[in-house]
Amino acid sequence: MTLTVTPGDANADSYADLVEIKAHWDSVGFDYTGYSDTQIEQAARRATAWLDGRYRRRFPGYRQYGRASRIPQALEWPRSWAEDVEGEAIPLDTIPPEVKDAQAEAARREVAGTTLSPDVTLGDTVTSESVGPISTEYAGIASVEGQRPILTVVDEILAPLFPSARNTKFVMRA
């Protein structure tokens, strides 16, 4: 099933289309010849869901067609009132190239077998420590965050979109 990439569409399921994803992969030297277009599209959808879930609170501005719209948009982009770190407005109904590249990087991990959003069963962990004749055991809870991969390349690609110190206001007392 072909990816739906129309910005603001209620049925959108990807930021980048198959051609854009493959172009990014070509630019970074990723050999995708062993993967079908269907596998790549499925990975792109999972990467989009992961990207939105992981970064929605950090994206600038507000969804262009939010929850109150007659037909709310499916994805986090496009956004109103969005600026990059240099203060330049990101045009409405536009998906920034950084978002498309970040999605392509996440999809690359997905198609190659890294699950970005793994199912995790939280269980109690028991740790014992001994110092000389004294020993103790204590229980802790495993965390979901400790089970997710961290894609620093995605953080670096998206960094130009995140609020910067230029927007910070300092208050000094006399």
Q: Does residue 154 lie within any of the structural domains?
A: yes
Q: Does residue 3 lie within any of the structural domains?
A: no
Q: Does residue 7 lie within any of the structural domains?
A: no
Tens-place pLDDT, residues 69-78: 887 899 999 9
Q: What is the pLDDT along the chain (174 residues), one digit of tens a residue?
A: 899 999 989 999 999 999 999 999 999 999 999 999 999 999 999 999 999 999 999 999 999 888 788 878 999 999 999 999 989 999 988 899 999 999 999 999 999 998 888 877 766 666 678 888 887 776 655 666 667 778 889 999 999 998 764 555 445 565
- Which residues are within 8 A (CB) of 113 and not within 5 positions of it... i.e. 6 or more apart? none
Q: Assess contact for 85 and 53: CB atoms under 8 A.
A: no
Q: Does residue 151 lie within any of the structural domains?
A: yes
The C-alpha atoms of residue 51 and residue 116 are separated, in whole angstroms, by 9
**Which pLDDT score, from 0 to 100, does residue 174 have?**
56
Q: Does residue 132 lie within any of the structural domains?
A: yes
Q: Does residue 13 lie within any of the structural domains?
A: no
Tens-place pLDDT, residues 122-136: 666 666 788 888 877
Q: Is 55 helix (H, G, I), strand (E, B) or coil?
A: helix
**Which pLDDT score, from 0 to 100, does residue 18 have?**
97
Q: Does residue 69 lie within any of the structural domains?
A: yes
Q: Assess contact for 77 and 56: CB atoms under 8 A.
A: no
Tens-place pLDDT, residues 5-26: 999 899 999 999 999 999 999 9
Range of the domain at 162: 18-167
Q: Does residue 123 lie within any of the structural domains?
A: yes
Return the bridge partners of 62, or none: 80
Q: Assess contact for 48 and 15: CB atoms under 8 A.
A: yes
Alpha-carbon separation of residue 169 from 82, 110, 163, 164 (angstroms): 19, 40, 13, 11
Could you give the number of structural domains in the chain? Answer: 1
